[in-house]
Amino acid sequence: MSAPASVHGPTTASVLRQFYALTKPRVVQLIVFCALIGMVLAVPGVPTLADLQQGALACLGIWLVAGAAAAFNCLVEKGIDAKMKRTAWRPTARGQLSDRQALIFSAALCAIGSTLLWFTVNPLTMWLTFATFVGYAVIYTVILKPLTPQNIVIGGASGAMPPVLGWAAMTGEVGPEALILFLIIFLWTPPHFWALALYRVEDYRKAGLPMLPVTHGNEFTRLQVLLYTFILFAACLMPFIYGMSGWLYLAVAIGVSIGFTGYAFALWRNYSDTLARKTFRFSLIHLSVLFAALLVDHYLR
């Protein structure tokens, strides 16, 4: 009888799953979705076959570079990840993949994605995407995250770039519409991550990261979450005010913004880990529904 595969080490399929896990698939899917919204809104009317082809290539290139940034993040933070329940399963944290493997994988994805964007989309998109890689993988992960409780606020600029990348991919420039979308995600990021940090505070404290609940306490963080949802509410109205969306988007934007603000207000008044989790989960619904409404509204107008 042959010995089980585990005796001889990991199978090829399991190793591939580990590399795939390094790319943080769920996060990258949201990034590509937001980039796709930027692409769609940049093209008036029904896209042509050429538009669809360019959009598909741009999505692939952005996915590859975003995956590279995620893999580099896993490499740099493997020690921190190992101390936190939320991230202890990552292959680098568990030692399933070596530093060399993770670094080569990240570099390869970045090189392939950047080359694809340069030659099949346009150089502006490539440089903006590469700048996003540097902003997230180096400036945020290496410099900001371990140094300041404002890491999420400043580093949020990288996470807010996908619609700008999508817009640049289809137009070769960065328009004011793309900057409005950037602003929405930029303001959404702090209350989204601070809601998570509130119920994961002990993990962050154990890891030695200066997240806002660790450095300034629970009550102060809850107030910041609430204040940011007020500002975000106003920003979510800007696509309608600027004329890039219609009444359908406005109705949805008001609805989900009231919901997010309502969760933040309840969290501020009476904290519980359960409510913080619900606030975090609703923040994901907020952004997804908001951008889906932009997409639907674009074709119904």
Q: Where are the domains of the chain?
A: 12-173, 175-301
* Cα-based distances in Å from 294 to 181, 200, 240, 250, 278: 10, 32, 10, 9, 24
Give me the DSSP letters along 32-91: HHHHHHHHHHHS-SS--HHHHHHHHHHHHHHHHHHHHHHHHHHHHTHHHHHH-TTTTTSH
Q: What CATH number should be reported for the domain whose range is 12-173?
A: 1.10.357.140
Whole-structure pTM value: 0.88
Q: Looking at this protein, which amino acid is placed at residue 187?
A: L
Say how many CA atoms lie within 13 Å of 36 toward its Cβ: 18
Dist. CA 46–CA 211, nearest whole Å? 44
Q: Which long-range contacts (CB under 8 A, 24 or more apart) does 138-143 make?
A: 141/72, 141/73, 141/76, 141/77, 142/76
For the chain, 301 residues long, the average pLDDT of each consecutive 10-residue run is 49 86 89 92 90 96 94 87 80 87 94 97 96 88 82 84 96 95 96 94 86 94 97 97 95 98 97 96 94 92 75
pLDDT value at residue 2: 43
